[in-house]
Amino acid sequence: MDSAKLTEEIRVLVTGFGPFLDINTNPSWKIARNLPPTLPSSNNRTINLIVPESYIPAVYHVILAETPSLIAKHDPHIVLHVGLALDRSYFAVEKSAPREGYHDIPDQNRRVFTRAENKKVFGKAPGELATGFELEGVVEAWRDECASIGATAKGKSKSKVKAKEKEIGMADVRHSDDVGTFVCGFIYYVSLLEMQKKGRRDVVFLHVPRLECDEEFGVGIEVVEKLIGVLVDQWKDS
3-class secondary-structure state, position 87: coil
Residue 188 confidence (pLDDT): 99
d(Cα 164, Cα 89) in Å, to the nearest integer?
11
Residue 197 confidence (pLDDT): 95
d(Cα 22, Cα 18) in Å, to the nearest integer?
11
- Cα dist. 167→31, 35, 155 in Å? 20, 24, 9
Number of residues written out for the chain: 238
Residue 122 confidence (pLDDT): 98
d(Cα 34, Cα 47) in Å, to the nearest integer?
15
Domain boundaries 3-234, CATH class: alpha beta
d(Cα 132, Cα 143) in Å, to the nearest integer?
19
Residue 170 confidence (pLDDT): 60
Side-chain half-sphere CA neighbours of 99 within 13 A = 17
* Among 231, 224, 215, CA closest to 83: 224
* Among 22, 54, 7, 15, CA closest to 190: 15
d(Cα 168, Cα 157) in Å, to the nearest integer?
11
Contact of 236 with 144, CB cutoff 8 Å: no
Query: At how many degrees (to 10) do helices 135-145 and 214-234 cross?
Result: 130
Longest dimension (CA), the chain: 54
Sequence spans of domains, the chain: 3-234
- Cα dist. 33→6, 37, 51 in Å? 25, 10, 7
Amino acid at 174: R
* Among 156, 139, 158, CA closest to 206: 139
Tens digit of pLDDT per residue, the chain (238 long)? 344 444 589 999 999 999 998 899 999 999 999 999 999 888 788 999 999 999 999 999 999 999 999 999 999 999 999 999 999 999 999 999 999 999 999 999 999 999 999 999 999 999 999 999 999 999 999 999 999 886 444 444 444 444 334 444 568 999 999 999 999 999 999 999 999 999 999 999 999 999 999 999 999 999 999 999 999 999 986 5
